Chains A and B, each alone.
Chain A
Amino acid sequence: MMSLYNELPSTFVTTNVDKLINWGRASSLWYLLFGLACCGIELMQTGGPRADIDRFGSVPRATPRQSDLMIVAGTVTLKMASRVKLLYDQMPHPKYVISMGSCSNCGGLFDLGYSVLRGVDKVIPVDLYVPGCPPRPEALTEGLIQVQDKIHRERYLARNN
Chain B
Amino acid sequence: MNAEAIHQTLKKRFPDGVGELHTETIDPWIEVQPEHIADVCRFCKEDEALGFDFLSNLTGVDAHNDLLVVYHLYAYGKRHSAVLKVRVPKGKPVTKTVTTVWRTANWFERECYDLLGVRFEGHPDLRRLLLPDDWEGHPLRKEYMFPTEYGGIDNTRDYGF
Contacts and interface: CB of A to CB of B under 8 A. Distances in A.
Contacts, number: 24
Interface stretch (A21-29, A42-50, A75-83, A92-100): A75-83
B132 A123 contact: no
Contacts of A117: 153, 155
Contact of B151 (A78, A112, A114, A118): A78
B154 A122 contact: yes
A115 interface: yes
Interface residues of B, number: 13
B151 A82 contact: yes
A46 to B, nearest CB: 29
B157 A118 contact: yes
Interface stretch (B73-81, B92-100, B142-150): B142-150
B139 interface: yes
Nearest to B161: A112
Given A79-B131, A79-B132, A114 B139 contact: yes
A114 B144 contact: yes
B117 to A, nearest CB: 14
A112 B131 CA distance: 16
Given A112-B161, A114-B139, A115-B131, A81 B144 contact: no
A75 to B, nearest CB: 13
A123 B147 CA distance: 17
Contacts of B132: 78-79
B153 A122 contact: yes
A78 B161 contact: no
Contacts of B131: 79, 115
A81 B139 contact: no
A123 B153 CA distance: 8
A123 B131 CA distance: 19
Interface string B24-43: 00000000000000000000
A78 to B, nearest CB: 5
B147 to A, nearest CB: 7
Contacts of B139: 114-115
A139 B134 CA distance: 38
A114 B153 contact: no
A82 B132 CA distance: 11
Interface of B: 131-132, 139, 144, 146-147, 150-151, 153-155, 157, 161
7 contacts: A78-B132, A78-B150, A79-B131, A114-B139, A114-B144, A114-B146, A122-B154
Given A78-B132, A114-B144, A117-B155, 18 more contacts: A78-B151, A78-B155, A79-B131, A79-B132, A81-B151, A81-B153, A82-B151, A112-B161, A114-B146, A114-B147, A115-B131, A115-B139, A117-B153, A118-B155, A118-B157, A122-B153, A122-B154, A123-B153
